Amino acid sequence: NAGVTQTPKFQVLKTGQSMTLQCAQDMNHEYMSWYRQDPGMGLRLIHYSVGAGITDQGEVPNGYNVSRSTTEDFPLRLLSAAPSQTSVYFCASSSSGGGTDTQYFGPGTRLTVL
Amino acid sequence: GENVEQHPSTLSVQEGDSAVIKCTYSDSASNYFPWYKQELGKRPQLIIDIRSNVGEKKDQRIAVTLNKTAKHFSLHITETQPEDSAVYFCAASMRGNKLVFGAGTILRVKS
């Protein structure tokens, strides 16, 4: 099992550009989520999904979109990148729920917005 | 709002000493409290968790205690080793099947 994978590992964008961060898991987990990690602020939940076709907002959803068409994939779209979105992004999955079970994190994507 | 406060933000201990990190949470309905360890440049990984029906849980040198009345929980690491140096995050489950993380504690174990 590859676990949770993310692409790309690094990305530099200019303000206003859009892009999609990819996340995939091969553990047949129903629950998937996206976090951003900023110095001194821990991990903050952006969006999450409890299964294919179902998504919901986390603490900091503004400027991001998600969709969940399959159990395996949960892409995160930045609509119009801003410098405030410079961060490290982690995707995570768990078998039964973000609030009740172990979350397995991907390796992260380091995003810089100029 | 829903939040988790974590203290201290940095902690330096001598090898062999104990380390304690404390967290408080706001949602009285929270019932799941995991701790994650993140080494430099790596992903967070679960090291121990506790549920609300248990007051204490231990796994070798690591233990977690929970006080639901006071809404706080703590991570205890005994006989610290240099490889324990990392950032530790506490988290608490919140309504809506979400997990809210503390801001993290940088633990440095000096040999």
Give the tens place of pLDDT for each residue, B69-108. Answer: 999 999 999 999 999 999 999 999 987 778 999 999 999 9
Instruction: Please answer yes or no on whether B100 and A59 come within 8 Å at the CB atom.
Output: yes
- In 3D space, the residue among A80, A87, A77 whose CA is nearest the CA of residue A16 turns out to be A80
Q: Would you state the pLDDT for residue A35?
A: 97
Q: Please report the pLDDT score of residue B1 as a whole number.
A: 65
A56–B96 CB contact, under 8 Å: yes
Residues of B in contact with A29 (CB under 8 A): none
Determine whether the interchain pair B34/A102 forms a contact, defined as Cβ–Cβ distance below 8 Å. yes
CA distance B43 to chain A (A): 5
What are the E-state strand segments in A60-108?
A: 64-66, 76-78, 87-94, 104-105
- Give the whole-angstrom CA distance, residue A54 versus residue A51: 6
B84: phi then psi, degrees, rounded to nearest 5: -80, -10
Residue A1 near residue A72, CB atoms below 8 Å: no
Residue A98 reports pLDDT greater than 90? no
Q: Quote the pLDDT of residue A1.
A: 79
Q: In the predicted model, what is the mean pLDDT of residues B42-56? A: 93
**Are residues A76 and A85 in contact, defined by beta-carbon separation less than 8 angstroms?**
no
The verdict on B25 touching A (C-beta cutoff 8 Å) is no
- What residues in A contact B101, CB-CB < 8 Å? 35, 42-44
